[in-house]
Amino acid sequence: MDALQLEVDLASSRNDLLSAENALSESLNDFKTLIGLNKDANLLEEVYHNFSGSRSVTFTIKVPVLDWGENRRQVESAEASLQQYKLTYENDRQQIEKETIEIVNRINFARARVEVLSKSVAVAQKSYDISIQRFQAGTITSSDLQQMQLRLTDAKTNSLNALIDYELALADLKRKTLHDFEK
């Protein structure tokens, strides 16, 4: 009986560990995005590829005859606008990538919780059934039986919450990517 109770407590502790690991993973992803890590990862991978490409350098000089700086200001303005659009695009792309990774992590975390907590429910049910038999035999009190019933209820509630979290994460991924990953 005590072993079954310890298994229920172990499953609950595993659930807490999975929650803490998921929070750590999300915090690390937020930190990486904040400091700009992963930003140039694709460019860094291409350094050692495509050796057959051209290695030439071009140097061009343009000397305006009559300009008074107007053309230079227009070019600088256009370059600044282009740079702003590029930065906005890159920021949006990184944000979408981060959100997708977070949703996939939530799905994996929720799936692991469902597996762990479903085993916890089975163990708690066995423990409760044994407690009923012990109560009928007169070896435990009604408060002990009530305590086992509360453990069973908590295990079922936690399992149901994990299943709901899993389904919500799948629905969120489907909504954000417009693709049904279950099928």
Residue 86 lies in a domain: yes
Residue 80 lies in a domain: yes
Residue 139 lies in a domain: yes
pLDDT (0 to 100) of residue 145: 92
Residue 5 has pLDDT above 80, yes or no: no
Q: Domain containing 130: what range?
A: 2-26+70-177
179 pLDDT band (50/70/90 cuts)?
confident
pLDDT (0 to 100) of residue 44: 46
Q: What is the pLDDT of residues 118-173, one digit of tens each?
A: 999 999 999 999 999 999 999 999 999 999 999 999 999 999 999 999 999 999 98
Q: What is the pLDDT of residues 61-93, one digit of tens each?
A: 766 666 677 777 888 899 999 999 999 999 999
Query: For the chain, how many structural domains are there in total?
Result: 1
Residue 19 lies in a domain: yes
Q: What is the pLDDT of residues 92-106, one digit of tens each?
A: 999 988 998 999 999
| 52-56, 58-62, 81-85: range with lowest mean pLDDT | 52-56
Residue 182 lies in a domain: no
Q: What is the pLDDT of residues 7-31, one digit of tens each?
A: 878 888 888 888 888 888 888 888 7
**Are 125 and 152 spatial neighbours (Cβ–Cβ below 8 Å)?**
yes
Residue 31 lies in a domain: no
Could you give the percent of the chain with pLDDT greater than 70?
83
Residue 62 lies in a domain: no
Residue 36 lies in a domain: no
